[in-house]
Chains A and B, each alone.
Chain A
Amino acid sequence: MAISFTVNGEKKTLDVDPKTPLLWALRDTLGLTGTKFGCGMNRCGACTVHVDGQAKRSCVTRVSSVEGKEITTIEGLSPDGTHPLQISWQKINVPQCGYCQPGQIMKAAALLSETPEPSDADIDKAMAANICRCGTYQRVRGAIHEAAAEMKKA
């Protein structure tokens, strides 16, 4: 059964098992490997993407459930890697191994679109969904504040 949806602005039609998690459809079928596999059970947030603008964990999102929807992955967050979070992440030198960071950034982007000036508590509440084993949390907080400030200026 073909399933159609939009990924990073491009219409895609896939012929995969409808139960396939969106994560594996993105990674294996569409080659968008920026979205990461960490736990496969809705626990770590490494697989976070936007579905119609909302942060969703793609490892537990069936591909059939996104029929007709708009998906944004880290590859499509900005056309040239200049989303304020991508800039602040570099400025504050957030990543260590970097593996969880696409998920962190996608989750943070959804936070900023709902709460443009988040407090530390807002950040903790939203970002507790995402595990970073390297422990970059202090810088994640800093980089979200930094991006929020830049977006306010703009």
Chain B
Amino acid sequence: MNYFDKDTQKSPFKVSRRGVLQAGLGLGASGLVLGFRPGRTLAKPSSAATDAQPAFAPNLFVEIEETGKVRLIVHRTEMGQGVRTSLPMMLADELEVDIDQVELVQAVGDKKYGNQNTDGSTSIRLNWEPLRQAGAAAREMLVQAAAKKWGVAADQCRAEQGKVIGPDGELTYGELAVLAAREEVPDKPELKDPSDYRYIGKKVTGLDVPDMVQGKSTYGMDVRLPGMVYASIERSPTIAGKLGSFDPAPAMAVRGVQKVLTLEARSQPMNTNASVAVVADSTWNAMEGRKALEIEWDSGGKTLESSDDYRAKLEALVDGEGNAVRSEGDWAAARDGAAKVLEARYHGPYLVHAPMEPLAATALVKDGKCELWVPAQDPQTARQRVAALLDMPLENVTVNVTFLGGGFGRKSKPDFIIEAASIAQQLEGTPVKLVWSREDEVKHGFYRAQNMQKLQAAVDGEGGLVGWRHHTAFPTIISTFMAGATDPNPFEVGMGATNLPYAVPNVQVEASGLTSDLRIGWLRSVCNTFHAHAVNCFMDELAEDAGKDPVDYRLAMLGEDRKLKFSPREDPYPLETARLRRVIERTAENASWGSKLADGMGHGFAAHFSFLSYVGMALKASVEEGKVKVHEVDCVLDCGTAISPDSVVAQMEGAVAFGLSMALYGEITVRDGVVRQSNFHNYPMLRINEMPKVNVEILQTGNPPSGVGEPGVPPVAPALANALYPVTGKRFRDLPIAPQLKA
């Protein structure tokens, strides 16, 4: 039996006032109480944990009680991108309820909710139609129920903010809930006219913000269960390494340490290293115990390949032939017949995510079941992996999703959740919270791939592009799921390499892969970050060679307006060069591009299409005493329809900070067999004193909504590199930039 089912009979959630749940979720016969605070509580399954079955639950996303209480279920993960506001906005708008009066319920990981994998900037796009329909269907049923009760036609009634208003009176949704439940769920409910939107497209303050500013939101790191113990893990420095010898005695002697456990390495797709876990009565004591461990790892003679050696391999790859992933016209003929051929190589290092919350996961294994409370971007995969690990049927594994203190792709990997479940299995009946240190997070990442690209352009006498060759080389993320995979996948090269928007008659895009000693993962914007850097910097180099302004050059090279399709994934959303053109023009306009700048100031430009959205950026920077100062960034975004515009603006502001951290400082390097970086002192982040003024304009183009969380990042690094060229005379083809200025 599910812990939650048992619990709900003993110690139900009590709804005390708007959006407020009292904590007090007993767990099983032991009377455990889950210490979630009052507020818009997370980590609670939907109807399974509510005190009563709602009177009206026409679909997975809407529940209405007779009391009038409205619950909206959020099935995607909140990590700062604002889904726990924007998804409810879509539901509440169509349902016609006051968004400040609803209670948000975070869904457990369950395939009944459809795609819950919160990555790829897809939460809005995938749910724009279904969630509006879910809200509208419920609204129509409530209206129908009221009409029947009054004996009037449904079209004489309308729904408004939690009530149905008829010719002679009104009824609240609570009063109608039982009746509405008897109505048939409409197949095709009528959606609102956009001019009637109450929330969509308007500023709505984040629904979780009131709790956040009081420290009341429960992140993965904050989960507390009675009787809970804490664990810290020492991992093999190499992926395939085995535990040689170790002595648990010194760790056991540390105050509060209760157990020392070993965990075996698990290959893809589990992807966990061999490790030793120290279990104690507090996080600190577990960490202290871990420090006392004496371990010898058996690496099998294998050490991590150095970044310099890896770079040399990448360089050799791009200097040779790769797999052709896009071929149009005849690159070789264009090259041979060109007035001039320009070329440049671009390099980017491994990067780690560094979300402010290091990884943490809480697990309880008891009576053949496992319950987890985790900051998971992908709770369904976590559930599957844990079920496989523990050899349990899927339904015996419950994955409760907490807030994420940042994710950026790292928390889509369930390795830390698998580790917690492994420990919990060995502590049957005792809940355990596994806490990763910052050092663990930096040294045991799923890294953005180190990469190298060679770009070549064949130009005519006027600087026009007649041929383009782009050879990109990096270890594929597929290696994270399938051992030994090397070839970059089409979706990876489709992030900024194959989907070149410029009109060039002869295009050759090639890709080369290789294995890596490090685990490769998604990091915000994925391959777009390095492809956008190379393409945008190269376009500036070509413009200079042609004696043209970089913005004018881009606009000229875009050619006639075209709708480009590169993969089925983009089917309903082709790359429309007219939209990219508009974004470029508007960015230049907002930035007063071409106007005179102060001495020592450079203005850099970049534009990129990713996650089906279009972003232009113009960035002003100078160098003062060997340090880059970024003064101002003008950003224009076309994401079709912006549901929650203030969140969209926030994502662009944040993308600038994220992109600048990457461009200036981001670098994970391997030397002498180890990852050199460990914490914020040697993997620095942009700080407030380095934050430029960011001006954002959203172009509401009426197209269907597309990505927002990621598309702002890719243009930042090239805009900065291009801004620094006139200031320093140097083309920053290698990232990060800051160490090169010191030299």
Contacts and interface: CB of A to CB of B under 8 A. Distances in A.
Nearest to A96: B80
A44 B215 contact: no
Interface in B604-652: 646-647, 650-651
B170 interface: no
B356 A138 contact: no
B689 A135 contact: no
B653 A34 contact: no
Interface string B273-313: 00000000011110010000000000000000000000000
A85 B215 CA distance: 13
Contacts of A52: none
B686 to A, nearest CB: 7
Given A131-B687, A135-B686, A98 B212 contact: yes
A12 B358 CA distance: 28
B172 interface: no
Contacts of A43: 679-681
Contact of A131 (B82, B210, B656, B685): B685
Interface in A72-101: 73-75, 77, 81, 85-86, 89-91, 93-101
A39 B680 contact: yes
A2 interface: no
B688 A137 contact: yes
A58 to B, nearest CB: 12
A66 to B, nearest CB: 15
A29 interface: yes
B24 to A, nearest CB: 14
Interface in B208-234: 208-210, 212-219, 221-222, 224, 230
Contact of A128 (B408, B655, B657, B689): B689
B400 interface: no
Given A43-B681, A124-B689, A99 B282 contact: no
B359 to A, nearest CB: 11
A135 B658 contact: yes
A118 interface: no
B688 A38 contact: no
A140 B694 CA distance: 13
A34 B403 contact: no
Q: In the complex, which range does the number of interface residues on chain B fall in?
A: 35 or more
A43 B354 CA distance: 13
A61 to B, nearest CB: 13
A123 to B, nearest CB: 7
Contact of B213 (A20, A101, A135): A101
B438 interface: yes
A24 B284 contact: yes
Given A135-B655, A135-B656, A36 B356 contact: yes
A34 B214 contact: yes
A124 B80 contact: no
B435 interface: yes
A80 to B, nearest CB: 9
Most buried by A among B288, B438, B658, B681: B438
A90 B205 contact: yes
Contact of A97 (B255, B403, B646): B403
A81 B222 contact: no
A33 B224 contact: yes
Nearest to B35: A31
Q: In the complex, which range does the number of interface residues on chain A fall in?
A: 35 or more
B669 interface: no
A128 B356 contact: no
Nearest to A93: B205
B209 A99 contact: no
A67 interface: no
A138 B82 contact: no
A105 B406 CA distance: 18
Interface string A106-143: 00000000000000000111011011111111111100
- Chain B interface mostly helix, strand, loop or mixed? loop
A98 B406 CA distance: 8
A75 B256 contact: no
Nearest to B205: A93
A81 B39 CA distance: 13
A28 B79 contact: no
Nearest to B709: A96
Contacts of B681: 41, 43
A55 interface: no
B358 to A, nearest CB: 7
A123 B688 contact: yes
A16 B693 CA distance: 46
B357 A38 contact: yes
Interface string B520-559: 0000000000000000000000000000000000000000
B255 A100 contact: no
Interface string B673-691: 0000001110001111101
Contact of A138 (B216, B646, B661, B691): B691
A128 B646 CA distance: 25
Given A101-B213, A135-B686, A138-B693, A27 B283 contact: yes
A94 B208 CA distance: 11
Interface in A28-75: 28-29, 31-41, 43-44, 46, 73-75
Contacts of A105: 213
B81 interface: yes
Nearest to B218: A33
Given A43-B681, A135-B653, A33 B406 contact: no
B399 interface: no
A97 B79 contact: yes
A122 to B, nearest CB: 11
A21 B284 contact: yes
Given A37-B358, A41-B679, A98-B80, A24 B283 contact: yes
Contacts of B288: 17
A128 B214 contact: no
Given A134-B406, A135-B657, A36 B221 contact: yes
A31 B406 CA distance: 22
Contacts of B203: 93
B45 interface: no
Given A93-B209, A123-B688, A133-B406, A99 B214 contact: no
Given A90-B210, A97-B405, A73 B654 contact: no
B189 interface: no
Most buried by B among A43, A77, A93: A93
A99 B406 contact: yes
Given A81-B210, A127-B688, A133 B283 contact: no
B679 A139 contact: no
A124 B688 CA distance: 6
A74 B112 CA distance: 38
A134 B657 CA distance: 7
B209 A29 contact: no
Nearest to A35: B215
Contacts of B404: 97
Contacts of B657: 132, 134-135, 137
Nearest to B712: A135
B209 A75 contact: no
Contacts of A136: 650, 653-654
Interface of A: 16-17, 20-21, 24, 27-29, 31-41, 43-44, 46, 73-75, 77, 81, 85-86, 89-91, 93-102, 105, 123-125, 127-128, 130-141
9 contacts: A33-B221, A40-B437, A43-B679, A46-B356, A81-B214, A90-B210, A99-B357, A131-B680, A137-B653
Given A33-B221, A74-B214, A89-B213, 7 more contacts: A35-B215, A86-B214, A99-B219, A99-B356, A128-B688, A133-B658, A134-B356
